Structure 1
């Protein structure tokens, strides 16, 4: 009998791209900032779905980690972007960013993240960058594992008073800079760019394979400059 599957890859497992949103929900993010962040996140998800459809060989999986007085995972298990729904977050308390990054590092180091079909994860940090704990310990934890070191780290600095030095340290790359969002409209565009560009970059090169060094997106290639829009925060 002829093997009709010869030459076909119908049984080939899809490549996985894990996107982790790490959200600052401390007191400094309360009010208009948190409301705009929830709005921006909901606007970014359809764009992620559209890009995922265009790159059907990659399964985009989403998680959400929040931090204030404690670290909480509103979405702890990876959810396919097709069925992912953003639940509104509220702000209050301290800013345990370091503890959140340690939790994310542990998640990236989990056995299920090590397979050959996993692209470098994307970690999007949304914060004003004012931690109340040892953020260096969290960055060190990320750097301690292969997946943590390979992760594409994209910080979005929220507000004109954001601590850019802390967010720069999170990137771990001297030539890249945090994306800045000082108003709601810019935050929407930044989130859309951060949530979709790594997938496009990862699939654009035929030479990139799961487990290879990531194609890191350049922040200054996003559609807007830092100064665009009125400073309302």
Structure 2
């Protein structure tokens, strides 16, 4: 292994965090079950991507928010060991609280200053019921919050895409719209594979089309706001 100042080139941690809306509206039309199924289906693909990128150690966590927020999986877990337990849906949409809790975990410590930019994936079907802007500011006050790759998936037409766009913080990357289970699976697989691969690859190997991020982000598989179809159920 080649030497460099400071020692050998070592594996760097890459924190991948799901931020899942578990409010009562997610129980309607099977949204929460579709979300649980989509993440579970994505895990084998995430493990494959991680295996192909030996320079990064992919560590996965999950944060849920409804009436308040809680860590669903609190410990940064190697993707090979990560297991998904189904989320229930109940309560309101305290997204601001969730972002504040996320900010606490992106400080140094517990984060390492030699980590790769985290990947934060926010999935929501409604509007925040608490102070979203304060939570977002807390996240942006942390260097790893600003440097993170922030992706948002809007479930259904009632999702507040303006809030999701603020979370992303980049004009060229729009919230991904999922109006049915198939679209949700497609978007979650894209985040779990293409985005994860770019985030974990050495800079010399990364190829992307969305500029302005700390890592090149590949183009989403479909337009973020495509035409309505008969298959739309949310």
* TM-score normalized by the length of structure 1: 0.88
Distance 1:8 1:145, change over 3 A: closer
Q: 1:224: how far off?
A: 2.4
Counterpart of 2:152 (choices 139, 152, 155) is 155
Q: Secondary structure at the match of 1:111?
A: coil
Matched residues, number:
221
Most deviating of 197-206 and 136-145: 197-206
From the CA coordinates, give the structure whose radius of gyration is larger: 1
Root-mean-square deviation (CA), in Å? Answer: 2.1
Counterpart of 1:79 (choices 55, 64, 77) is 77
Q: 1:129: how far off?
A: 3.7
Where does 1:1-233 land on structure 2 (aligned, <5 Å)?
Answer: 12-31=9-28, 32-116=30-114, 118-202=115-199, 203=201, 205-206=203-204, 214-217=214-217, 221-225=219-223, 226-227=225-226, 230-233=231-234
* TM-score normalized by the length of structure 2: 0.87
8 Å contact kept, 2:150–2:167: yes
Distance 1:215 1:71, change over 3 A: same
Q: Please give the alpha-carbon distance, in whole angstroms, between the structure 1 residues aligned to 2:75 and 2:187.
A: 25
> What are the Cα deviations for residues 113-155 of structure 1, in whole angstroms up to 9, with x where unaligned?
1322x10001100101411001001110111011010011101
Q: Please give the alpha-carbon distance, in whole angstroms, between the structure 1 residues aligned to 2:205 and 2:111.
A: 21
Q: Secondary structure at the match of 1:153?
A: strand
Q: 1:110: how far off?
A: 3.9
Unaligned runs of 5+ in 2: 207-212
Unaligned runs of 5+ in 1: 1-5
8 Å contact kept, 1:26–1:91: yes
Q: Please give the alpha-carbon distance, in whole angstroms, between the structure 2 residues aligned to 1:98 and 1:163.
A: 14
Q: Secondary structure at the match of 2:110?
A: helix
Q: 1:204: how far off?
A: 5.4
Q: Please give the alpha-carbon distance, in whole angstroms, between the structure 2 residues aligned to 1:207 and 1:54.
A: 12
Distance 1:113 1:185, change over 3 A: same
User: What residue is the counterpart of 1:3 in the other structure?
Assistant: none
Q: 1:216: how far off?
A: 4.7
8 Å contact kept, 1:114–1:147: no
